[in-house]
């Protein structure tokens, strides 16, 4: 029995961490957060060069053929740096193609998605609907030899720059829509998390292609997304604890740093106790995803619910430790606070997944 990372996995996290320390300083994060675009092409290219976009892609398509845990370990580091961009949607769309795509679809897209030459995203939620495959209403209609997609999706990450969309359709299947085709209308939504911007995408008879294994892949991709959000939340929450501890070691009041005061110390200790053990919960959920099929769905749900709730609360505590400055736009804590709001709501709130977990346990 071994519940630890391999040397390769530790090296992977170190590599991503060092890359972001060098290429993603706080100044750049701030500029992007305040700027018009939520995307940094240089950063994305760098991530592609490190092979992060093809981690789970099979080797013959140019990927590394690794597992969800490896991808989640990267998501953790990205969360800890509040790294911006299309990683989440791109990863989920890539997994959807890998699991549900035809050979032709895979041949056409996976090598380009793994190398970063093309960018993909994942469109699920509809206004008034839910994230669950059973709730999708977008309709596929035959038109001549092909298919046309009609429907509207909201909160689609990185839609403005995506080359290809994996879209949830009525009946729980998945369709592929290329940006180059007709009948696509993309409109930015003012989202809370400036590091992961979202759009409304209207498909008005857009040329579409069905993923033959889409119905089986869809819930699996959703679960992978839950694990990646849980990992992002762990990274973000852990960074919040570091920010709060750092501030408490430097901020002076009553002639001493506020880290001397037991009220502050205990708040910081509680924050650490809330998040540190949960590292192992997201690890387990990610490992179960590939190795323990009987447990994987329920663990993905519980991990997402638990970790994103912890992230939200810890981000709140971090604002509190910072006092007035923590409430300002200038203070970087708000960046993680809003990232926590995204992680918590995207793919369904904790309450939704706790109810699913209860059902899956036969309660």
Partner 1 sequence: MDLRYSREYEEYRREVREFLKGHWPPSGEAAQGSQAEQAARFRALAIQRGYVARSIPAAYGGSEQPPDVLKAVIIAEEFGRARAPADVRGIGASMLVPTLLEHGREDQKLRFIPPTIRGEMQWCQGYSEPGSGSDLASLKTRAELIDGEWVVNGQKIWTSGAQIAHYMFCLCRTEPGAPKHAGISYLLIDMKSPGVEVRPLRQMTGTADFNEVFLTNVRIPADHIVGKRGEGWTVSRSTLKHERNMIGDAAGSRVLFEGLVRLARETKRNGKRAIDDSDVRQQLAALEGYVLSHQYSGYRQLTLAARGKDAGIAGMMNKLTSTNIGHSVARLALDLLGDEGLLAPTNEARGIRLLPRGHAGWITQNMWSLGVAIAGGSANIQRNVIAERGLGLPRDFAAQREGSR
Interface with partner 1 by CB under 8 A: which residues?
A: 1-6, 69, 241, 245, 248-249, 256-257, 259-260, 262, 265-266, 268-270, 272-273, 276-281, 283-284, 287, 291-292, 299, 302-303, 305-306, 309, 350-351, 354-355, 357-358, 363
> 259, 250, 267, 269: which is closest to 320 by C-alpha?
267
What whole-number distance in Å separates Cα of residue 319 and Cα of residue 330? 12
For residue 333, the minimal CB distance to partner 1 (Å) is: 17
Cβ closer to partner 1: 1 or 180? 1
For residue 354, the minimal CB distance to partner 1 (Å) is: 4
Cβ closer to partner 1: 279 or 316? 279
For residue 124, the minimal CB distance to partner 1 (Å) is: 23
- Find all residues with CB under 8 Å of 334, minimum gap 6, and list them: 319, 328
For residue 55, the minimal CB distance to partner 1 (Å) is: 16
What whole-number distance in Å separates Cα of residue 180 and Cα of residue 12? 35
What whole-number distance in Å separates Cα of residue 125 and Cα of residue 155? 7
How open is the CA angle 113-115-117, to the nearest 5 degrees?
70
What whole-number distance in Å separates Cα of residue 8 and Cα of residue 67? 13
Cβ closer to partner 1: 199 or 264? 264
Cβ closer to partner 1: 11 or 192? 11
For residue 6, the minimal CB distance to partner 1 (Å) is: 7
For residue 64, the minimal CB distance to partner 1 (Å) is: 17
Cβ closer to partner 1: 254 or 329? 254
- Find all residues with CB under 8 Å of 301, minimum gap 6, and list them: 223, 226, 353, 354, 356, 357, 360
How open is the CA angle 86-114-122, to the nearest 5 degrees?
40
For residue 205, the minimal CB distance to partner 1 (Å) is: 41
Cβ closer to partner 1: 268 or 345? 268
What whole-number distance in Å separates Cα of residue 108 and Cα of residue 344? 34
Cβ closer to partner 1: 35 or 277? 277
Residue 310 contacts residue 241 (beta carbons within 8 Å): no
């Amino acid at each position: 029995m071994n519940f630890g990372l391999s040397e390769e996995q530790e090296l992977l996290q170190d590599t991503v961490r060092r890359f972001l320390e060098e290429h993603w300083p706080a100044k750049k994060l701030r500029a992007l957060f305040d700027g018009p675009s939520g995307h940094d092409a240089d950063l994305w290219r760098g991530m592609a060069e490190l092979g992060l976009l093809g981690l789970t892609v099979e080797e013959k398509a140019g990927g590394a053929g690794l597992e969800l845990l490896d991808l989640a370990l990267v998501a953790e580091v990205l969360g800890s740096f509040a790294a911006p961009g299309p990683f989440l949607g791109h990863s989920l769309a890539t997994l959807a193609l890998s699991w549900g795509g035809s050979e032709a679809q895979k041949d056409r897209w996976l090598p380009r998605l793994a190398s970063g030459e093309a960018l993909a995203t994942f469109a699920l939620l509809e206004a008034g609907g839910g994230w669950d495959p059973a709730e999708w209403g977008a309709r596929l209609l035959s038109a001549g030899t092909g298919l046309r997609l009609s429907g509207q999706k909201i909160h689609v990450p990185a839609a403005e720059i995506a080359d290809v969309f994996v879209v949830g359709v009525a009946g729980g299947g998945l369709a592929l829509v290329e940006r180059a085709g007709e009948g696509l209308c993309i409109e930015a939504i003012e989202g809370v998390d400036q590091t992961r911007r979202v759009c409304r995408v209207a498909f008005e008879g857009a040329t579409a292609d069905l993923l033959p294994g889409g119905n089986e892949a869809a819930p699996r991709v959703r679960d992978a997304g839950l694990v990646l959000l849980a990992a992002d939340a762990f990274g973000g929450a852990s960074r919040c604890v570091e920010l709060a501890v750092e501030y408490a070691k430097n901020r002076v009041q009553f002639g001493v740093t506020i880290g001397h005061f037991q009220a502050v110390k205990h708040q910081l200790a509680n924050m650490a106790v809330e998040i540190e053990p949960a590292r192992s919960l997201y690890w387990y959920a990610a490992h179960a995803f590939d190795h323990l099929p009987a447990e994987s769905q329920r663990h993905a749900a519980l991990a997402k619910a638990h970790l994103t709730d912890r992230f939200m609360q810890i981000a709140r505590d971090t604002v509190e430790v910072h006092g007035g400055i923590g409430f300002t736009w200038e203070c970087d804590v708000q960046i993680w606070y809003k990232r926590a709001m995204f992680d918590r709501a995207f793919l369904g709130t904790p309450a939704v997944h706790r109810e699913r977990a209860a059902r899956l346990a036969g309660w």
